[in-house]
Amino acid sequence: MRVYDYPVPPYDMDLYSALPPARLIKYCIDATRRAGEDDGLPADRLLREAGGVWMIARLRVNQYSPIRGREVLGIGVHDLGMEKTSFIRDLDITRGDEAAHGVELAAQARICYIVVSPTERKILRPGAVLPLWGENPPRPKEGLTKIHAPGELSELAQTRVRWADCDLNGHFSSSNYADLICEAGGYWANGPALMRELQIDFNAELKPGEPVILSAAGDGAYTVMRGVHADGAAGFTARYEVER
């Protein structure tokens, strides 16, 4: 496992002086990028030799305590695993100094990546990618089970994808889905909160400027939310548990 340090700047805090879920996800995604580069497979090599780019199929973050500004997170990225066409990264997010007061596990994450042809917009089979690892291919690993939404969802809001929130691939950045979910779900509306668990399944890309309809329903301790395109096709499905 490789560990990467992430100092948390105060300007990343929300109105309750806690790191929002979207920022934590952004740190985790960046840590997997760094791990890939250290594994000898940076994004430019993947594109050049396999004709593909990394895309996130689904992710889950479990957070155990709030993260504050000026803390330094150590994001430990486990060895790459694989399930069918997904490449799995597990992450441990810690803080503290083992030599001083000990290290605390603040959160954990699992990110499931797929490799997609940017021109044909289709998933590449593992056979096109695995040779890049040479003698150290990814080992079998558990992925994430697809979220099944309840039968009836109530509409929460309608919004549009902001151009400012889209990336160089021309679609809504993965971490920004968490902001959309938190805003529509009232995460900040009733005082400080902790996102105990958040899973997002990315169904179909949300593109800049397009309308999105957000609906949700309770499912035991969890809330399930779905964001759909104007034609009714699912853009994403999320499941989350909030502690207040």
The pLDDT tens digits of the residues spanning 81-90 come to 999 999 999 9
Which of 24 and 219 is assigned the larger pLDDT?
24
Q: Let me know if 194 is exposed, middle or buried by CB neighbors in 10 A (0-12, 13-18, 19+).
A: middle
In a domain, 146, yes or no: no
Domain match, 167 and 135 both: no
Domain match, 31 and 119 both: yes
Domain match, 127 and 191 both: no
pTM: 0.95
In a domain, 196, yes or no: yes
Mean residue pLDDT across the chain: 94
Predicted confidence at residue 170, as pLDDT, reads: 84
Predicted confidence at residue 91, as pLDDT, reads: 98
Predicted confidence at residue 219, as pLDDT, reads: 86
**CATH code of the domain in which 20 resides:** 3.10.129.10
Domain assignment of residue 125, given as a range: 2-140
Predicted confidence at residue 58, as pLDDT, reads: 97
Contact 1, 77 (CB under 8 A): yes
Between CA 158 and CA 165, with CA 161 as vertex, the angle to 5 degrees is: 140
In a domain, 145, yes or no: no
Q: Which of 140, 168, 201 is the last residue of a domain?
A: 140
Count of domains observed in the chain? 2
* Cα four-point dihedral sign 183, 148, 207, 196: positive
Domain match, 11 and 125 both: yes
Q: Which residues contact 37 (CB under 8 A, 6 or more apart)?
A: none
